[in-house]
Structure 1
Amino acid sequence: MSTKQSVLTGWRWLRWLPPTLAALLIGLACTATERPHRPLTVTVPVAGCAADGGRENRQEANPSPADGPPDLAEWEAAMVDYGRRRGDDLLGESNFQAQLNMQYYDAQRVFLQIADYTGDDDPWQRYADAAESTYKTYLEKNDFQIAGYMRFPHGLFMDWRRNGDEQSREYLFRLRETGAFATPEDPAYNRLWRDSRYSREIAYAIETQVLAERAGAPAQTYRKDLYVDMALDHIDAWLTGDFGHNDEQWRFCQAFMAGLTASALIAYDDHLESTGRDRDPRVLARIETLSDWLWQTMWVAGVGGSRGDWYPHESSTLGAFEYVQPSVEGVGSEDPAPDLNLLIAPMYGWLYAQTGAARFRDRGDAVFAGGIAMASLEQNKIFNQNFRSSFDYVEWRRHDASAVED
């Protein structure tokens, strides 16, 4: 085993070192050998947000094994180790605003997923209960009149399905009906929310619609269809650069926002099939194009540095997506952001399960590996965002698809 391989394979012990020392060791390991370069198997037009970007990825991901992501054991270890730490932090916090911040990205969902994955109720149910109490208190204090980016339906749905909590089911239904971004049929909102600056809020609204239906609420087909049309418009804006306005502060793409939109559209499309309806052909086509576009225009194949100072490092075997394309003052720069990789990986796992195309498996594993190795899990929010939907990636990646060459 090479020096590079031995250091990166045993990445877990690096987490116990000071960030600067860990970054130095990773940098030394990454320069030990040259990383093989493979040309892209599929290319897309460089348009939209990427037209003004400073980089373009021309490298394909290295081939992955068919039986599952190579870094699965590391993901599982981080899930349990850091999950216990973050759960204990939540239990030990007495300030409500701090608790609410720790809950962001739906900590209840995260802890219940860990419980289901490991088969252990304790301590994960206790952590989930604390997150549930915090979120329900927030909803009650605001009479459910909440911001669209605070709409987190999954934990409530899972609590009802897993534990039979009828209050969680009731709160899920109210979450669908109340608060910002609840009425897409309003003519003013119908037009306004097609602006991609609202992509996260629309993604969360789609997921709330789907989960409420799964919990037995009457379908709101008209509203749901409007949300889906809006989400597809957001993808088109990122891909083409046609944002419908000239406000330079909002003419950009963030890969993690694209990941949230993709996850919502996938939930919608899978729900159609699970209820005996035909899939929406627009979803697979758009997400496939989006994933190719993100890989070619926003993927940084080699990343070095440490949290707060990530940068392209050609010899590194670890990659991440740029935070934003192009750089926008007040939003962020094109520097890589590995903390967000695992919000983006799921679309590649789903595409692999749907199509069997090897590039989605290989790219997804590269995104997954970069997130596991470089994400800073010392903050509850970042831990939650890394384990919000990466369980979906693991499930789809294990799909028995016969990989086909692109």
Structure 2
Amino acid sequence: MLVEPLSRPGGQVVRFWSFNRMILELTAVVLLCACADGATVNEPASAQAEAVNIDASAMVRQQAAIAIGEQRTLWVSPSLKSKSRSTVQPSWRSSNPAIASIVPQANGGQYAVVTGLANGAVYVIARTPAAVDSFLVIVGTGPAALRFAASTFALTRGDTARIIPLDTGSTLSYSSLSSSVATVTTSGLITALASGEAKIRVSSELGASGEISVTVSATVVPPPPVGGNRIVAALTRISVGSGSALVSSGVPLVAGALRDTDVSAVRVFVGGVEQRIFVAALQGRHPDGSLTSILLQFPYALASGIPVAAEIVLGSSRTLGDLPPQVNNPGMPDAVILPTDPNYLVQTDLVGATRSVESTSAISSFASKYDADFRTFADLHWATYSDQWEQNYYDRAQVYYAQWVRTGNPEYWTRGTRQVLAYRKGYLEPNAYGTSPHWSQIDGVALHYQLTGDEMSRFAVGRVAEVLRYFRDNARIVGHPDIDSRILARTLAAQLWSWRLQARGNEAIATAAEISTFVSTVLGLQAADGAWRYPIICAPLSAGLTYMDGMLNESLIQAYIHHSPNPAILAKVRKSADYMWSRWKVASQAVEYAPGCPPNSTDPDSYPELNNLVVNSYAWIYAQTGDVVFRQRADSLFNGGVRGQFLYGQKQFNQQYTTSYRYFFWRSAR
């Protein structure tokens, strides 16, 4: 069985995860019965229960309604296949223990008793190392009405506004009761069409609902009397409370918008009134030398949960005196000013080339499902585990920041920031940044710096790059037993970010020349047939894992974009893509997992859930060359990956979304 180590602090390996996905064949038997306090319930005979097949491609839930103080028993019986391997002992968890508690019982945890504690609704989750089942439990009168950052909008015809829910943990649906006045998209974007009033109905799968009132006026409010380019933004208070708060955040910029000498030509208007601000250029530059982000700081009175519309104007000199740098917790500020239009945000290339969620649904039904699945499972993972640093394997922070860019929803910005801080403070800092390559999730940390100006995150980038130099400096040793494609990918990513952000740890910043040398070394390790092979894979054989090759290609592509457009990178990535496609499995719609390793009779040889770590190789080649064969292959990989996903697992969820959002841009680039 091929297994992958998950490292803990200090690089110590503590457990192994197999890619054997029993969830696809899990059968759940659910019995809901009233129980007296302390009563014992015997496991039902198979003839007394009806088996329900669980489809891993959807969130399958059983439902129960109980009163406050009432108890019910939830049973889960694994499939014959999982029984034949070992006794599955699920762990149980309530998504909100204040509403309903869950207590595992005897018989190896095969059933548990749920107790209603307060009005509301929860998910009860039963989890094994390879399977997850969930139950929707309605308690008492059910969930309270949904809450929103703003429940009323005054818009002019043609305006747009986004509904920002304050409650997470379930998927929301939106509908307009007066679509001739205002429409609403599946992600909560309102568009004002004609004068009048409209109601927007919002419902959750937990049974909660709420309404948004929209008033549309034909009157056009004049913009602030200034020139320059305008960025539509909003102030959002992160901390709980009201009154004056320091607004402090990084604002991403499109290429060419500002240069180092232009920071005096930035103005901020709130409610049409110019604010006295502090502005600073943050490290990081677009390929044309222009700024990638700026830090804005100023005080403003606002309350949590009520966003305030704002506008950032570039190219017009300020009329008010500048503020000095403000003292605040830069990692998680009290309040932020963030662009709200995803069509602007995707143009900044903050997270790499991508497209907005609104624009990708037309690509295919799989693109729509990709984003719908994200909303469902992102909320499930957040409700269950919040920002635990262990959830950041394969860079959950980057995943959330990318979704903020693609939607403009500040909730994802907040989640990404909390996830970075949990990872940095819970893992990197306690271990003196001595991360293993597997646990180097550097993109999210670098993005956190660019979005907050937190110098501790920039320092972390520099320190991690220094730690991983061991692998950079030993990569030239052909057959080195400690190095594989993923390690090279993580090492190259860290060196690139150290150079891009001029991030110094305790030693020197990675230089452009060092990156050029490292890229040449990596390219020289590719075999003549396009494979990347290492003794560490399937020892004593020399083999490779295709998903790791996809990760290495991704880092090489980033080096091509941000460091130097070396034509050898395109040639090597193309050769790698051709090699992987020669291992394409039609039946599973995935590439072979471990070409060169001996066949394994107990595990499949391909895993479509890993396709989206490979897909960008093909989409990017199409964007560079126009060869439609590579777009077709990219589409096949993406569709197979969405169809065969396993998003209940925290690692698998991150693998699905960590960089695959770039596929949308590259496959549509011509």
Give the TM-score normalised by structure 1.
0.69
Aligned to 1:172: 461
Structure 2 distance, partners of 1:177, 1:391, is 29
Q: Does 1:366 align with 2:366?
A: no
Aligned to 2:60: 16
Provide closer, same or farther for how the CA distance between residues 12 and 203 of structure 1 changes in structure 2, counting only shifts above 3 A.
closer
Structure 1 distance, partners of 2:516, 2:663, is 25
Alignment equivalent of 1:301, drawn from 586, 609, 618: 586
Aligned to 1:214: 500
Structure 1 distance, partners of 2:606, 2:535, is 28
Q: What are the Cα deviations for residues 272-319 of structure 1, in whole angstroms up to 9, with x where unaligned?
A: 35xxxxx211111111111111111x211122xxxxxxxxxxxxxxx1
Provide closer, same or farther for how the CA distance between residues 17 and 249 of structure 1 changes in structure 2, counting only shifts above 3 A.
farther
Structure 2 distance, partners of 1:245, 1:327, is 11
Provide closer, same or farther for how the CA distance between residues 329 and 335 of structure 1 changes in structure 2, counting only shifts above 3 A.
closer
Provide closer, same or farther for how the CA distance between residues 170 and 14 of structure 1 changes in structure 2, counting only shifts above 3 A.
closer
Contact 1:338/1:375 (<8 A) preserved: yes
Aligned to 1:83: 378
Q: Does 1:288 align with 2:574?
A: yes
Structure 2 distance, partners of 1:249, 1:288, is 28
Q: Which has the higher strand share?
A: 2
Structure 1 distance, partners of 2:532, 2:650, is 34
Aligned to 2:514: 223
Q: What is the Cα deviation at residue 245 of structure 1?
A: 10
Give the alignment of 1:1-400 within 5 angstroms: 14-16=58-60, 68=363, 71-91=366-386, 99-126=388-415, 128-178=417-467, 180-182=468-470, 184-185=472-473, 190-191=476-477, 197-217=483-503, 218-236=509-527, 239=530, 248-273=539-564, 279-296=565-582, 298-303=583-588, 319-328=589-598, 335-399=605-669
Which moves more between the two structures, 125-134 or 358-367? Answer: 125-134
SS in 2 for 1:390: coil
* Structure 2 residue runs without a partner (length 5+): 1-54, 63-77, 80-359, 504-508
Q: What is the Cα deviation at residue 360 of structure 1?
A: 0.8
Q: How many residues align?
A: 315
SS in 2 for 1:367: helix
Structure 1 distance, partners of 2:492, 2:417, is 23
SS in 2 for 1:235: coil
SS in 2 for 1:349: helix
Structure 1 distance, partners of 2:566, 2:602, is 34
Provide closer, same or farther for how the CA distance between residues 215 and 331 of structure 1 changes in structure 2, counting only shifts above 3 A.
farther
Which moves more between the two structures, 390-399 or 69-78? Answer: 69-78
Q: Which has the higher helix share?
A: 1
Structure 1 distance, partners of 2:475, 2:57, is 50
Q: What is the Cα deviation at residue 174 of structure 1?
A: 1.5
Structure 2 distance, partners of 1:259, 1:133, is 28
Provide closer, same or farther for how the CA distance between residues 89 and 243 of structure 1 changes in structure 2, counting only shifts above 3 A.
closer
Contact 2:381/2:650 (<8 A) preserved: yes
Structure 2 distance, partners of 1:331, 1:147, is 31
Tell me the amino acid that sits aligned with residue 164 of structure 1.
G
Q: What is the Cα deviation at residue 16 of structure 1?
A: 2.3
Q: What are the Cα deviations for residues 40-63 of structure 1, in whole angstroms up to 9, with x where unaligned?
A: xxxxxxxxxxxxxxxxxxxxxxxx
Q: What are the Cα deviations for residues 208-232 of structure 1, in whole angstroms up to 9, with x where unaligned?
A: 1112222234552343234323422
Structure 2 distance, partners of 1:246, 1:171, is 30
Contact 1:237/1:243 (<8 A) preserved: no
Provide closer, same or farther for how the CA distance between residues 246 and 212 of structure 1 changes in structure 2, counting only shifts above 3 A.
closer
Provide closer, same or farther for how the CA distance between residues 13 and 224 of structure 1 changes in structure 2, counting only shifts above 3 A.
closer
Contact 2:609/2:645 (<8 A) preserved: yes
- CA RMSD in angstroms, aligned pairs only: 3.2
Structure 2 distance, partners of 1:149, 1:380, is 15
Q: What is the Cα deviation at residue 138 of structure 1?
A: 0.7
Structure 2 distance, partners of 1:14, 1:183, is 40
Structure 2 distance, partners of 1:232, 1:364, is 22
Contact 2:484/2:534 (<8 A) preserved: no
Contact 1:269/1:283 (<8 A) preserved: yes
Contact 1:88/1:127 (<8 A) preserved: no
Q: What are the Cα deviations for residues 84-134 of structure 1, in whole angstroms up to 9, with x where unaligned?
A: 112222318xxxxxx343210111111111111111011552354134313
Structure 1 distance, partners of 2:499, 2:631, is 31
Structure 2 distance, partners of 1:378, 1:151, is 23
Q: What are the Cα deviations for residues 230-280 of structure 1, in whole angstroms up to 9, with x where unaligned?
A: 42234327636886899853411211011011001000011135xxxxx21
Contact 1:205/1:227 (<8 A) preserved: no
Structure 2 distance, partners of 1:384, 1:246, is 23
Which moves more between the two structures, 215-224 or 160-169? Answer: 215-224
**Structure having greater relative contact order (Cα 8 Å, sep ≥ 6):** 1
Which moves more between the two structures, 194-203 or 346-355? Answer: 194-203
Larger Cα-atom Rg: 2
Aligned to 2:315: none
Structure 2 distance, partners of 1:13, 1:358, is 29
Contact 2:471/2:483 (<8 A) preserved: no
Q: What is the Cα deviation at residue 143 of structure 1?
A: 0.6
Structure 2 distance, partners of 1:234, 1:138, is 32
Q: What is the Cα deviation at residue 80 of structure 1?
A: 1.6
Q: What is the Cα deviation at residue 161 of structure 1?
A: 1.2
How many percent identity over aligned positions? 24
